[in-house]
Structure 1
Amino acid sequence: MRLHRLEITAFGPYRGEQVVDFDELAVDGLFLLHGDTGAGKTTLLDAVAFALYGQVPGARGEVKRLRCDTASDDTTTRVVLELTVQGQRLRLERTPEYQRPKKRGEGYTTQQAKASLTWLDGAPTEESPEAVTRIDEVARTVHRLLGMTVEQFFQVVMLPQGEFARFLRSDTSEREQLLEKLFGTQRFADVERWFVERRRERGRVVDERGQQVRELLARVSQVSGTPASSEVDDQDWLADVEKRSQRELEQAQAERTRSRRERDTAEAGLAERRELAEKVRRVKQARDALAELDERKAEHDAWRAERDAAHRAVPVQAARRTAERAEQERDRARAQVATVAARCRLDPETDLAELRERAAAERERAGALAALIPQAQQQETDQRRLAELAERIGVDARRETELVAEQEGIPERVRLARERVEEAKQAELRLETVRTRHDELESLLGVAREIPGADTELARAEETAQRAVDAHQQARDALQDLRARRLAGMAAELASRLESGRPCPVCGSAEHPAPGEPIDDQVRAEDEEAAEEAERRTAAERERTTAAAQQVRQRVAALRERLGERTESELSAEIEQLRAEQQRLREVAGELDRRTTELTALEAATGELGEQLTELRTRLAAARSEHTGLTEAVEERRARLAEGRGEFDSIEARRAHLLESAAALEELLAARTARDDAEQRLAAQRTALAEAAAEAGFADPDQAGAAERGEERLAELDTAIGEIEQRAAGAKEALASAELFGVEPDTEVGLQEATEAAALAREAAERAAAVAHRAEQRQRELDDLAGRLREAWSELGPALAEQAELEALADVVNGRGQNARKMSLRAYVLAARLEEVAIAATRRLQRMSDGRYSFVHSDAAGARGTRGGLGIDVLDDYSGKVRPAKTLSGGESFLASLSLALGLADVVAAESGGALLDTLFIDEGFGSLDADTLDLVMDTLDELRSGGRVVGLVSHVDEMRQRIGTRLRVRKSREGSTLAIES
Structure 2
Amino acid sequence: MRIIKLTMNAFMTYKDFTVVDFENMLDHGLYLISGPTGSGKTTLFDAITFALYGEASGSHRHVSYFRSDFADAKDETYVELTFELHQHIYTIKRSPTYYREGYKTPKNANAYLDDGEHMIEGVKEVNAKIKELLGVDVHQFKQIVMIAQGEFTKLIYASSEERERVLRHVFHSESLVVFENLLKEQVKTYKDQFLLSSQALSSRFSMLQLDSAFMDMHQQEFHPSYIQEATLENEKLHDQLQHYQTSYQNAKTSYDQFANLYYQKQQQNLQLSELQQITQQYQTLQNQEKMMASLKHDLDQVTAIKDHQSLLDQYQQIKLSYQQALNQKQKVHKQLETSQKQFEQLEREYQQLEKEKQQKDQLLLDIDNTKQSLEKYQQYHQLLQQYQNQYKQYQSMQNDYQNLQSRYEKLDNRIQRDQENVNHLPRLELELEQNEKNVKDINKKRVMIHELSQFYDEWKSLEDHHYDLSVNYQKKHQKYEDILVKYRHEDELFRRQQAGILASHLKENEPCPVCGSTHHPHLAQLETSVLSSHELENLSQQVEVLNQQQQEAYQEVFQQNEFVQQMKTRIEMLKKQLDIQEELSKEVFIRLLSDIVQVIDEQEKTYQKKYNDVIYLKKIQKNLKQDHLLLQQQNQYLQDMQNQIIDKEKQLSLLHQQYTQLQEEYHLSNEQDISVLLKQQQIQFHRLDQHIHDIENQYHQCQKDISVYTHQLETFSSQIDDLESKQQAYTQRYQAFIDQYFDSEEQFLDYQKRQQSIFNQEKDYQNYIIQKEALGKQKQLLEEKTKDYHMTDLSLEKQQLDALAQKRDETYTQYHETLHVYKQNQETLDQLDKDYHKNQDIFEKYTLYQDLYDYTSGKNPLRMSFERYVLSAYFEQILEFANIELLKMTQGRFALYRKKDVKGVKQQGLDLSVLDYETGMMRDIQSLSGGESFKAALSLALGLSSMIQNYAGGIELNTLFIDEGFGTLDHESIDQALSVLMDLKNDHKTIGIISHVDELKERIDTQIIVEKGQQGSSLHIERG
Give the alignment's TM-score, normalised by structure 2: 0.49
The answer to whether the 8 A contact 1:874-1:882 is kept is yes
CA distance in 2, matches of 1:386, 1:248: 100
Q: Tell me: CA distance 1:866–1:261, structure 2 relative to 1, closer, same or farther (3 Å).
A: closer
Partner of 2:628: none
CA distance in 2, matches of 1:256, 1:655: 86
Equivalent in 934, 943, 954 of residue 894 of structure 1:
934
Partner of 1:91: 91
Matching of residue 23 in structure 1 with residue 19 in structure 2: no
After TM superposition, list the pairs within 5 Å mapping 1:805-954 onto structure 2.
805-816=848-859, 819-860=860-901, 865-954=905-994
Partner of 1:174: 162
Q: Tell me the SS of whatever aligns to 2:946.
A: helix
CA distance in 2, matches of 1:652, 1:4: 109
Q: Tell me: CA distance 1:977–1:109, structure 2 relative to 1, closer, same or farther (3 Å).
A: farther
- The worse-fitting range, judged by mean Cα deviation, of 200-209 and 16-25 is 200-209
Equivalent in 832, 845, 849 of residue 789 of structure 1:
832
The answer to whether the 8 A contact 2:63-2:96 is kept is no
For each residue in 1:150-175, what CA deviation from the matched residue of structure 2 results, as whole angstroms up to 9, or x when unmatched? 22211111111221311111222221
In structure 2, what residue type is equivalent to 1:37?
T
Q: Tell me: CA distance 1:770–1:620, structure 2 relative to 1, closer, same or farther (3 Å).
A: closer
Q: Tell me: CA distance 1:39–1:862, structure 2 relative to 1, closer, same or farther (3 Å).
A: farther
Q: Tell me: CA distance 1:716–1:77, structure 2 relative to 1, closer, same or farther (3 Å).
A: closer
For each residue in 1:901-925, what CA deviation from the matched residue of structure 2 results, as whole angstroms up to 9, or x when unmatched? 1111111111222531111111122
In structure 2, what residue type is equivalent to 1:960?
L
Equivalent in 808, 827, 846 of residue 803 of structure 1:
846
CA distance in 2, matches of 1:973, 1:386: 101
After TM superposition, list the pairs within 5 Å mapping 1:100-499 onto structure 2.
100-102=100-102, 110-120=106-116, 122=117, 129=118, 131-220=119-208, 226-227=215-216, 229=218, 234-250=223-239, 253=242, 400-410=336-346
| Structure 1 residue 630 displacement after superposition | 14
In structure 2, what residue type is equivalent to 1:226?
M
For each residue in 1:707-759, what CA deviation from the matched residue of structure 2 results, as whole angstroms up to 9, or x when unmatched? xxxxxxx99999999899x99xxxxxxxxxxxxxxxxxxxxxxx9xxx99x99
Partner of 2:702: 609
CA distance in 2, matches of 1:247, 1:626: 107
| Structure 1 residue 895 displacement after superposition | 0.9
After TM superposition, list the pairs within 5 Å mapping 1:689-704 onto structure 2.
none
In structure 1, what residue type is equivalent to 2:111?
A
In structure 2, what residue type is equivalent to 1:884?
D
| Structure 1 residue 179 displacement after superposition | 0.9
- The worse-fitting range, judged by mean Cα deviation, of 847-856 and 228-237 is 228-237
| Structure 1 residue 89 displacement after superposition | 0.9
| Structure label with greater radius of gyration | 1
In structure 2, what residue type is equivalent to 1:116?
Y
Partner of 1:8: 8
- The worse-fitting range, judged by mean Cα deviation, of 893-902 and 872-881 is 872-881
The answer to whether the 8 A contact 1:831-1:859 is kept is no
Q: Tell me: CA distance 1:868–1:610, structure 2 relative to 1, closer, same or farther (3 Å).
A: same
Q: Tell me: CA distance 1:979–1:210, structure 2 relative to 1, closer, same or farther (3 Å).
A: same
For each residue in 1:102-161, what CA deviation from the matched residue of structure 2 results, as whole angstroms up to 9, or x when unmatched? 4xxxx99855444322223x3xxxxxx1x2332332222222211222222111111112
The answer to whether the 8 A contact 1:11-1:67 is kept is yes
Q: Tell me: CA distance 1:405–1:172, structure 2 relative to 1, closer, same or farther (3 Å).
A: same
Partner of 1:46: 46
Q: What is the root-mean-square deviation in Å for CA atoms of aligned residues?
A: 5.4
Q: Tell me: CA distance 1:650–1:149, structure 2 relative to 1, closer, same or farther (3 Å).
A: closer
| Structure 1 residue 927 displacement after superposition | 2.0
- The worse-fitting range, judged by mean Cα deviation, of 850-859 and 403-412 is 403-412
For each residue in 1:753-779, what CA deviation from the matched residue of structure 2 results, as whole angstroms up to 9, or x when unmatched? xx99x9999999998887666554433
CA distance in 1, matches of 2:697, 2:154: 89
Q: Tell me: CA distance 1:251–1:871, structure 2 relative to 1, closer, same or farther (3 Å).
A: same
* Count of residues paired in the alignment: 582
CA distance in 1, matches of 2:965, 2:907: 33
CA distance in 1, matches of 2:60, 2:898: 32
Q: Tell me the SS of whatever aligns to 2:155.
A: helix
| Structure 1 residue 404 displacement after superposition | 2.3
Q: Tell me: CA distance 1:980–1:215, structure 2 relative to 1, closer, same or farther (3 Å).
A: same
Partner of 2:1010: 970
Q: Tell me: CA distance 1:652–1:831, structure 2 relative to 1, closer, same or farther (3 Å).
A: closer
For each residue in 1:389-423, what CA deviation from the matched residue of structure 2 results, as whole angstroms up to 9, or x when unmatched? 9999887766554432232244689999xxxxxxx
CA distance in 1, matches of 2:784, 2:101: 124
CA distance in 1, matches of 2:330, 2:804: 117
CA distance in 1, matches of 2:207, 2:723: 110
In structure 2, what residue type is equivalent to 1:610?
Q
For each residue in 1:179-220, what CA deviation from the matched residue of structure 2 results, as whole angstroms up to 9, or x when unmatched? 111111122122112222333333344344334322221112
After TM superposition, list the pairs within 5 Å mapping 1:484-633 onto structure 2.
603-614=696-707
The answer to whether the 8 A contact 2:202-2:222 is kept is no
CA distance in 2, matches of 1:253, 1:717: 53
The answer to whether the 8 A contact 2:227-2:832 is kept is no
CA distance in 1, matches of 2:721, 2:812: 117
The answer to whether the 8 A contact 1:86-1:145 is kept is no
CA distance in 1, matches of 2:804, 2:170: 94
CA distance in 1, matches of 2:802, 2:738: 97
| Structure 1 residue 897 displacement after superposition | 0.8
For each residue in 1:362-387, what CA deviation from the matched residue of structure 2 results, as whole angstroms up to 9, or x when unmatched? xxxxxxxxxxxxxxxxxxxx999999
For each residue in 1:649-700, what CA deviation from the matched residue of structure 2 results, as whole angstroms up to 9, or x when unmatched? 9999999999x9xxxxxxxxxxxxxxxxxxxxxxxxxxxxxxxxxxxxxxxx
In structure 1, what residue type is equivalent to 2:341?
A
In structure 2, what residue type is equivalent to 1:236?
S
CA distance in 2, matches of 1:215, 1:239: 17
Q: Tell me the SS of whatever aligns to 1:3.
A: strand
CA distance in 2, matches of 1:838, 1:140: 31
Q: Tell me the SS of whatever aligns to 1:169.
A: coil
Q: Tell me: CA distance 1:37–1:398, structure 2 relative to 1, closer, same or farther (3 Å).
A: closer
In structure 1, what residue type is equivalent to 2:949?
A
After TM superposition, list the pairs within 5 Å mapping 1:735-774 onto structure 2.
774=817
In structure 1, what residue type is equivalent to 2:131?
H
In structure 2, what residue type is equivalent to 1:607?
H
The answer to whether the 8 A contact 1:213-1:232 is kept is no
Q: Tell me the SS of whatever aligns to 1:11.
A: coil
Give the alignment's TM-score, normalised by structure 1: 0.51
Partner of 1:33: 33
Q: Tell me: CA distance 1:28–1:779, structure 2 relative to 1, closer, same or farther (3 Å).
A: same
For each residue in 1:566-591, what CA deviation from the matched residue of structure 2 results, as whole angstroms up to 9, or x when unmatched? xxxxxxxxxxxxxxxxxxxxxxxxxx
Q: Tell me the SS of whatever aligns to 1:836.
A: helix
Partner of 2:560: none
Unaligned 5+ residue runs, structure 2?
262-317, 353-685, 743-779
The answer to whether the 8 A contact 1:18-1:979 is kept is no
For each residue in 1:549-608, what CA deviation from the matched residue of structure 2 results, as whole angstroms up to 9, or x when unmatched? xxxxxxxxxxxxxxxxxxxxxxxxxxxxxxxxxxxxxxxxxxxx9xx9999777534323
Q: Tell me the SS of whatever aligns to 1:45.
A: helix
In structure 2, what residue type is equivalent to 1:876?
D
CA distance in 2, matches of 1:929, 1:385: 117
| Structure 1 residue 249 displacement after superposition | 4.0
Q: Tell me the SS of whatever aligns to 1:977.
A: strand
- The worse-fitting range, judged by mean Cα deviation, of 152-161 and 877-886 is 877-886
| Structure 1 residue 610 displacement after superposition | 2.7
| Structure 1 residue 788 displacement after superposition | 1.2
* Percent identity between the two aligned chains: 25
The answer to whether the 8 A contact 2:1006-2:1021 is kept is no
Q: Tell me: CA distance 1:397–1:217, structure 2 relative to 1, closer, same or farther (3 Å).
A: closer
